[in-house]
Amino acid sequence: MSQSAFINPALLSWSRLRAGLSEIQVAKGLPVKPQRIRDWEAGRSLPTFNQAQKWASIAHVPFGFLFLKEPPAERLPLPDLRTVGGVSPSRPSLGLIDTIKDVLRKQDWYLEYLQDHDVSPLPFVGRFSTRSSVLDVVSDLREVLRIGGDDKQQNHDNYLRDLISAAEAVGILVMRSGVVLGNTHRKLDVSEFRGFAISDRLAPVVFINSADAPSARLFTLVHELAHIWIGSTGISDGGTHSDRDEEAFCNAVAGEFLVPQDAFRSAWDMDGMWTSNLAPLAARFRVGKWVVARRACDLGFISSGQYGAYYQQELQAYRDKEGSGGSYYPTASTRNSVRFSKAVIAEAQSGRMLLREAGKLLGIQPAKLKTYASRLLA
């Protein structure tokens, strides 16, 4: 007979709710009947040691936590710049916490890597502040990234790709994912956050929530780059109205960078339905229609209600046609950033890093590292 695990029933309930799981979901994963879950959480009976270990795995919590007297205090590892109804969200999801911790772990490694190679600080990080001119920041962004106002490609997907490549070329790690730690069963919630930035003079990082509509990711990228330029670290929700100076300023920079105000005002047609402006202006500025709607809202051409309804429509359309998430190697390079991946691969190929350590850092099976490296360098 298996030995019982003398866990704290309150920690079972806490870990399940923390992971956003129902009693039925946990029961199915173990597997046991849902009544058994209720009995354990009420302290009427105890799981076996093996069942408790499996519970910890399902709930994505260290096994030892289940034996604590009370739940540990958990805080976001980064400043929270999000606002919902004028106040900060009270409780971050486990997915957001795990994502930030993973990115910070990678950044810590990359910082040591850069220090070993005597890399100089990046001069553009924190060059401006929220008191600076938005136009000055936009101009400097274009100059550093070598992106002119007329350099955009034929569509917003190409423009996003080129901006990411430009950001990485100057030393910024750009990571994108819509799931937690590469686990397609753990989706990130775009209503919780759209991205975050970690401002560092050696290894700045931008993370974009790929669960968002594709055209919205372009705005998020520039918004987070603006955070790097003003030396601001934090998690963003990309809301149109924010009481936080950093968020309002970075929204203004992103809007002006993608769709200059003067050109937008002269191009906007006040006659007819406002939605009739979206396609032609998206083609003119080579951004997605969502960005045009966002800019129209920021500049007062449409209400926040109109913009919100349109955004939800775009997001739902994207979710309805969303595929399997792409092939393995391109997804891995997107999740880890190409610049970071190349640094890890170089250390592994030189023998200064074990293959299993490189695989763990990148979230890739060691046996696939060689193929991954050849794809990156192709």
Residue with tokens 């309150």: 10
Predicted pLDDT of residue 325? 56
Tens-place pLDDT, residues 127-146? 999 999 999 999 999 999 99
Q: Please check whether residue 363 lies inside any domain of the structure.
A: yes
Q: Please check whether residue 113 lies inside any domain of the structure.
A: yes
The last residue of one of the domains, among 279, 302, 321, is: 321
Which residues on adjacent β-strands are paired with residue 180?
183
Q: Which two tokens stand for residue 276?
A: 């009739």
Alpha carbon of residue 336 to chain centroid: 11
Lowest mean pLDDT among 168-177, 180-189, 298-307: 180-189
48 — phi, psi (to 5°)?
A: -75, 170
Could you tell me if 154 and 246 lie in one domain? Answer: yes
- For residue 5, what is the DSSP state? P
Alpha carbon of residue 267 to chain centroid: 33
The last residue of one of the domains, among 321, 352, 368, is: 321
Beta carbons of 222 and 258 less than 8 angstroms apart: yes
Could you tell me if 184 and 311 lie in one domain? Answer: yes
Long-range CB contacts for residues 125-131, cutoff 8 Å, separation at least 24: 125/199, 125/200, 125/201, 125/204, 125/228, 125/229, 125/231, 126/199, 126/201, 126/229, 126/230, 126/231, 127/229, 127/231, 128/229, 128/230, 129/230, 129/231, 130/230, 130/245, 130/246, 130/249
d(CA 344, CA 357) in angstroms, rounded, equals 9
Predicted pLDDT of residue 83? 64
Q: How confident is the model at residue 221 (pLDDT cuts 50, 70, 90)?
A: very high
Could you tell me if 373 and 245 lie in one domain? Answer: no
273: Cβ contacts below 8 Å, ≥ 6 apart? none
The total number of structural domains that make up the chain: 3
Predicted pLDDT of residue 146? 93
Q: Please check whether residue 316 lies inside any domain of the structure.
A: yes
Could you tell me if 134 and 263 lie in one domain? Answer: yes
Predicted pLDDT of residue 300? 93
Could you tell me if 271 and 206 lie in one domain? Answer: yes
CA dihedral 30, 32, 34, 38 (to 10 degrees): -80
Cis peptide before 31 (omega within 30 of 0): yes
Could you tell me if 123 and 242 lie in one domain? Answer: yes
Tens-place pLDDT, residues 182-192? 888 888 988 88
Could you tell me if 49 and 121 lie in one domain? Answer: no
- Please, how many CA atoms are within 13 Å of residue 30, restricted to the half-sphere of its CB? 26
Q: Please check whether residue 86 lies inside any domain of the structure.
A: no
Secondary structure (DSSP) of 61-105: --GGGGGSSSPPP---SS-B---BTTB--S---HHHHHHHHHHHH
Q: Please check whether residue 2 lies inside any domain of the structure.
A: no
Could you tell me if 276 and 346 lie in one domain? Answer: no
Check residues 348 and 152 and name the one with the higher pLDDT.
348
Q: Which two tokens stand for residue 150?
A: 């007329």
Tens-place pLDDT, residues 10-50? 999 989 988 888 899 999 999 999 999 999 999 999 999 99
Predicted pLDDT of residue 27? 93
Tens-place pLDDT, residues 273-291? 999 999 999 988 889 898 9
Tens-place pLDDT, residues 324-376? 556 888 899 999 999 999 999 999 999 999 999 999 999 999 999 999 999 88
Could you tell me if 316 and 336 lie in one domain? Answer: no
Sign of CA dihedral 186, 187, 191, 195: positive
Which residues on adjacent β-strands are paired with residue 235?
80, 196
pLDDT surpassing 60 at residue 153: no
Q: Please check whether residue 47 lies inside any domain of the structure.
A: yes
Mean pLDDT over all residues of the chain?
90
Q: Please check whether residue 131 lies inside any domain of the structure.
A: yes
Could you tell me if 140 and 187 lie in one domain? Answer: yes
Q: How confident is the model at residue 87 (pLDDT cuts 50, 70, 90)?
A: low
Q: Please check whether residue 90 lies inside any domain of the structure.
A: no
Angle between helices 338-350 and 94-116 (to 10 degrees): 50
Could you tell me if 204 and 114 lie in one domain? Answer: yes
Beta carbons of 287 and 192 less than 8 angstroms apart: no
pLDDT surpassing 70 at residue 306: yes
Q: How confident is the model at residue 295 (pLDDT cuts 50, 70, 90)?
A: very high
CATH code, domain with 26: 1.10.260.40
pLDDT surpassing 70 at residue 240: no
Domain that holds residue 313: 96-321
Could you tell me if 362 and 270 lie in one domain? Answer: no
pLDDT surpassing 80 at residue 91: no
The radius of gyration of the chain's CA atoms, rounded to the nearest angstrom, is 23
Tens-place pLDDT, residues 70-84? 888 778 888 888 765
Q: How confident is the model at residue 89 (pLDDT cuts 50, 70, 90)?
A: low
d(CA 237, CA 235) in angstroms, rounded, equals 7
Predicted pLDDT of residue 54? 93
d(CA 312, CA 228) in angstroms, rounded, equals 28
Predicted pLDDT of residue 20? 82
